[in-house]
Structure 1
Amino acid sequence: MCGIAGAINLRGETVPDLGRRLDVMGELIAHRGPDDHGTWAHPHGHVGFAHRRLSIFDLSACGHQPMTDDAGQVITYNGEVYNWPEVRTELGGDWCTQTDTEVLLRAHERWGADAVDHLRGMFAYGLWDERATQLTLVRDRFGIKPLYYAQAGDVLYFASEAKALLPFLPAIRTDREGLKDYLAFQFCLAGKTLFDGVRELLPGHRLTVRNGAIRTERYWEVYYDLDWTHREAWYEERIEALLHDSIRMHLRSDVPVGAYVSGGLDSSAVAGLASLYDPGTTPAFTGRFEGPEYDESRYARLLADERGLDLSVIDLDVSDFTREIERVIYHLDFPVAGPGSFPQFMVSEAAARDVKVILGGQGGDEVFGGYTRYLIAYFEQCIKAAIEGTAQNGNFVVTYESIIPQLESLRSYKPLLQEFWREGLFEDLDRRYFRLINRAPHVEQLVNVEALGDYDPFHQFAEIFNGRNVGHESYFDKMTHFDFKTLLPALLQVEDRVSMAHGLESRVPLLDHPLVELAATIPADVKFPGGRLKHIFARATRATVPAQISERTDKMGFPVPLVEWANGPARDFVRDTFTGDRDLYDRRAVLDALEGEAKFGRTFWGLFSLELWQQRFHDREHEFRSLLTTETTT
């Protein structure tokens, strides 16, 4: 796990002060790799790499990057290829290191672009091939590891974090379409970011630069080709087997490994399985706020006692929030996906004192269907089917009668249901799900949306939601597919930034691609029978996870008492944050709206974090500019 960056002149000409530019990018991502650093520049000066290393395999100097080979290849690589010993055996020959980096170089020499098909893991890397005079950028299938790029003049820059690209932009401006996406979803679609001119290489994609031409292509896709030939018991067995295999691989490390434990099914399954293969006692970490509504640590303790985990509970309060939230936003690069990034940041900081690698449960909700909104959406479909007598038309997998026992879990969602059903009842599936997740209507009275142009996020939403790789009319698969393609990468951005801010490698075993590809073939009425969220995953992990956890219907997802703090002990901090008006919104209107914000509402967080982001990156643009003219430290 590391930080990577680089630059290439598209005309093949020398990049002015290339060494300085590489040093600047390396400095801005130094937190990602505290163990070692290096740069490489081509003798002609038209391409170069910077690297910051977090040593996980082969802790010796042999793992230094950028790494070169005798075939004229140079690589700067971030991530882990968990099956590197198997790939190395397949490749054969003599080896100089015990690293997956060397294996990746040799794999590219053998298989070229198809090398990525042989990899299981999380990765983002840049590879220069001297013989082909080609730069290749690759990002893993799910976007676990980040990769951004920007073109300034004739030079293309890339880096693990967008902040490393900002010194080279003509100006730091907000991307208006990206901002419209953010206001709707609290993340961006289709590779956009909140920085104008900065793009995200999409998960499962590669970018190549050759003879001045930039080309991007998808190398992997998940296909929802449903398998009707097997019964539930077979899927349970296959999921369980693939989970065990994934956990074994994700535990490979030359440094200590721990686990996040939130009290929910996903992290409990991962940590519980890890304890079976850890010869010692697995360190585990959870966070809590004061008050029963914000404290799920009893479930984490239950798992720890049953599986023999060494649990550390990190207590968090409002003073932590006011002290650290600006640092959180800086490390995130963009405000994204909700206030849960704050407690994750704090728990990661505590975990990094004891371990260098940590396992998490990210991905379970999107792969196996764990969000309560899926139940809300299906409840409406069931009512429609009952009225029209179309219960078997393929658009849903549960009947009105079968869903009734699950509706108790919607008790705290009554305000959302009222809003959801206020207009547009029984519309097309894409329009209905868009209404369910679209947050923009909450801020329309606060934000000058007209100034952002005519772009409508719904159209790109619908293109993803109705993707051809789904190939059928299952509402459940369309919803989970959209979240898998968009929300999951946003959550993985948080996962990466809050851990790497502290030099901690976060691994997500539920996103092993054989497991994900299997899950996509499971019919929705097996994954979601009678509206039971994550049913098949809970069945497959019942030997490891206590029933009190797997059968929970009140999982909160690390809620933060943000609104209570903002109207209470953090009131002055919040109001001091909004010290002046923006063209985008009026601070008084935002603060007035805060008074009526629901306990777990996201409107205030969306604008509060956006304001902190503008202060840190836009208002201090000169600090990024000055890096090119001042000395950096190493």
Structure 2
Amino acid sequence: MCGIAGWLSFDRDLTQHREVIDAMTGTMACRGPDDSGSWIRPDVALGHRRLAIIDLPGGRQPMAETGLAAMVYSGEVYNFTELRAELSQRGHRFATDSDTEVVLHGYLEWGDAVVDHLNGMYAFAIWDEREDKLVMIRDRMGIKPFYYYPTSDGVLFGSEPKAILANPLARKVVDADGLRELMAQTKAPGWALWKGMYEVEPATLVTVDRSGIRRRTYWQLDAARHLDDQETTVGKVRELMTDIVHRQLIADVPRCVLLSGGLDSSAITGLAAARLAERGERLRTFSVDFFSQEENFRADEVRDTPDSPFIRDVAGLVGSEHRDIVLNPAELSDPEVRLKVLAARDMPAGLGDFDTSLYLLFKAVRQHSTVALSGESADEVFGGYRWFHDDAVVDSPTFPWLGRMSLTSDWAPSLRADVRATLDLPGYIGDQYRTAIAQVDHLDGESEQDRKMRTICHLHLTRFVRILLDRKDRASMAVGLEVRVPFCDHRLVEYVYNTPWALKTFDGREKSLLRRATEHVLPPSVRDRVKSVYPSTQDPGYAAALQQQTKEILAEPDAPVFSLMDRGWAERLSELDPATMSATQRIGLDRILDLHYWFDRYSPELQFG
């Protein structure tokens, strides 16, 4: 797990620009606190920051085979041991025990087809000296971030936009489409906020040579008939989950599991604890909580119960070494923490304590572990969100997550009237929705219900999950913590995606397959628990702190944030009783503050109107 950066220029001598690649690489020191390196030739410069996970002394980068290829790599390939053995039989010789060297030799053996052999999360760039071309590759689900910025004579690239923006060739311009997607949250393919910058899309190869830039998708969700019966399907899910967790526990550094007390993280915890117990090891688990949350908990539309009792049940059952990371309103609303989250994400996400609490949790976890397994993405894979089971949402011609939780509440009421009219967010969302559903492959003879649910699942696996994966990667890597996501293993995703909806809900509940497949490692309380979303503080002290900070911005007559946001709307929110503020209103204040600090830190040039 690391940070990568690079610059390809066919018209410059990059050996004269070492300070630029060093600056680009240096922006991601938090992603790789253990080491740094660069590899520079006239046409190409590669930079790397390392977080050492496997083969601590031997995995330094950039890694090169003289006269053949050089590579910078971020992530983990979980089947590297098998690939190493196969490549050894084909005559390859290895100098290290790292997965990085295995991927490099895999490319030398199979070329672009190396992607068909990889199981893991990765973003890497290879300069092929034999053909004078750069190949950029991203994992199937988009777990690891990867961005690029075409130039007149090549390309800039990096794990995060900040690496690219550190190059003088990259302009900090945000246009109307950049703002539309920031506010709409449809996860438009290739979107990167900054004009001229793009994401390397998941499951995509981007090749750059003197003839230009070419893209190829190497994996996608295809419709296939599911022929297994219920018992066989449950058994297959159990087999896959067990294998995946076992693979993702491999590391040469301390590991843990992020435990929320929900089905997803509890299943990971149970499987991981059992595996480590076989080796005489005890699992570490961590949870986030808020001061007095359990005692003062109030049920709402997405949370029926507090997490703490369920967390205790799981930790007690598996015997983990457990720690609760308890946060208070002062920590969550601290402007310095907000600035760190903003710097990690490179954009004003406006998610408030959803982001700051995650960052603070990861910061605390990093003091004890370097690798953490997370239950992220199970809801997208198995159909766990409540709106999957709401006919009104399923039948609605838009993205199911929009407007269904405060995490994605509508920006429109908070915008200035002229900005709202220019951006036309409903029109943009409609266009994106039509584009997204046109990508869904269906089976001949599929029932109307299965067609609907396949579409909903496809939207979540190709759009919504990428929003959440990016959030988790940025917050974790900001403190040098590697978070692994077992539910994103492409074998599991493919298998469950093609399971008919009736099988996914065979017991009349959400995530029936996962519940049954992992019930042997779950306490009864968690096995029977209803889905509850990521926790958020309910302390009015947090809202009061946001109001005070907003009033300070309102006191600035020329605050740039009000070139987008409605000043009168902000004034009204800042005067409400914090104890009665809705989650949507509180998110509105968070967005004002995020935008304010974003303008201050990045000085973006806005081009719209």
TM-score range, shorter chain: 0.7 to 0.9
When structure 1 is superposed on structure 2, of 249-258 and 473-482 the one drifting more is 473-482
Could you say which residue in structure 1 is the equivalent of 2:317? 306
Query: In structure 2, do the counterparts of structure 1 residues 603 and 208 end up closer, same or farther at CA, with 3 Å as the change threshold?
Result: farther
Q: In structure 2, the residue corresponding to 1:487 is in which secondary structure?
A: helix
Q: Give how far 1:593 is off.
A: 4.3
Could you say which residue in structure 2 is the equivalent of 1:416? none
Which amino acid in 1 is paired with 2:346?
D
TM-score (normalised: structure 1): 0.84
- Structure 1 residue 285 and structure 2 residue 286: aligned? yes
Task: Say whether the 8 Å CA contact 1:260–1:286 is kept in structure 2.
Answer: yes
Query: In structure 2, do the counterparts of structure 1 residues 127 and 609 end up closer, same or farther at CA, with 3 Å as the change threshold?
Result: farther
Deviations 1:334-386 (A, max 9, x none): 2448442221111111110011111001110000011111122x2577xxxxx
Could you say which residue in structure 1 is the equivalent of 2:256? 258
Distance in 2, matches of 1:432 and 1:160, equals 28
Q: In structure 2, the residue corresponding to 1:305 is in which secondary structure?
A: helix
Q: In structure 2, the residue corresponding to 1:284 is in which secondary structure?
A: strand
Distance in 1, matches of 2:215 and 2:350, equals 26
Q: How does 1:65-464 map to 2 (within 5 A)?
A: 65-70=61-66, 72-92=68-88, 93-167=92-166, 168=168, 171-185=171-185, 188-227=187-226, 229-278=227-276, 279=279, 280-289=281-290, 290-292=292-294, 293=297, 295-323=306-334, 324-336=337-349, 338-339=351-352, 340-376=354-390, 378=391, 429-431=396-398, 433=400, 443-444=412-413, 446-447=415-416, 448-452=419-423, 456-464=428-436
Distance in 1, matches of 2:586 and 2:31, equals 30
Distance in 2, matches of 1:451 and 1:333, equals 24
Deviations 1:79-128 (A, max 9, x none): 00011000000111431000001101110011110101101100000100
Distance in 1, matches of 2:350 and 2:513, equals 26
Which amino acid in 1 is paired with 2:84?
R
Q: Give how far 1:50 is off.
A: 0.4
1:508 to 481, 485, 496: 485
Task: Say whether the 8 Å CA contact 1:356–1:504 is kept in structure 2.
Answer: yes
Q: In structure 1, the residue corresponding to 2:246 is in which secondary structure?
A: helix
Could you say which residue in structure 2 is the equivalent of 1:3? 3
Which amino acid in 2 is paired with 1:589?
W
Task: Say whether the 8 Å CA contact 2:374–2:483 is kept in structure 1.
Answer: yes
Distance in 1, matches of 2:224 and 2:274, equals 33
Distance in 2, matches of 1:558 and 1:183, equals 22
Q: How does 1:38-57 map to 2 (within 5 A)?
A: 38-42=37-41, 45-57=42-54
Distance in 2, matches of 1:169 and 1:528, equals 52
Distance in 1, matches of 2:430 and 2:214, equals 27
Which amino acid in 2 is paired with 1:467?
Q
Identical residues among aligned pairs (%): 30
Q: Give how far 1:496 is off.
A: 0.7
Could you say which residue in structure 1 is the equivalent of 2:20? 21
Distance in 1, matches of 2:268 and 2:323, equals 17
Q: Give how far 1:573 is off.
A: 2.4
Q: In structure 1, the residue corresponding to 2:583 is in which secondary structure?
A: coil
Q: In structure 2, the residue corresponding to 1:568 is in which secondary structure?
A: helix
Which amino acid in 2 is paired with 1:458?
G
Query: In structure 2, do the counterparts of structure 1 residues 569 and 535 end up closer, same or farther at CA, with 3 Å as the change threshold?
Result: same
Aligned residues: 569
State the Cα RMSD in Å. Answer: 2.6
Distance in 1, matches of 2:582 and 2:45, equals 46
Which amino acid in 1 is paired with 2:76?
E
Q: In structure 2, the residue corresponding to 1:460 is in which secondary structure?
A: helix
Could you say which residue in structure 1 is the equivalent of 2:303? none
Which amino acid in 1 is paired with 2:377?
G
Q: Give how far 1:210 is off.
A: 1.4
Query: In structure 2, do the counterparts of structure 1 residues 239 and 23 end up closer, same or farther at CA, with 3 Å as the change threshold?
Result: same
Distance in 2, matches of 1:433 and 1:139, equals 27
Structure 1's unaligned 5+ residue stretches are 382-427, 625-634
Query: In structure 2, do the counterparts of structure 1 residues 210 and 483 end up closer, same or farther at CA, with 3 Å as the change threshold?
Result: same
Q: In structure 2, the residue corresponding to 1:216 is in which secondary structure?
A: strand
Query: In structure 2, do the counterparts of structure 1 residues 220 and 286 end up closer, same or farther at CA, with 3 Å as the change threshold?
Result: same
Which amino acid in 2 is paired with 1:271?
T
- Structure 1 residue 575 and structure 2 residue 547: aligned? no
TM-score (normalised: structure 2): 0.87
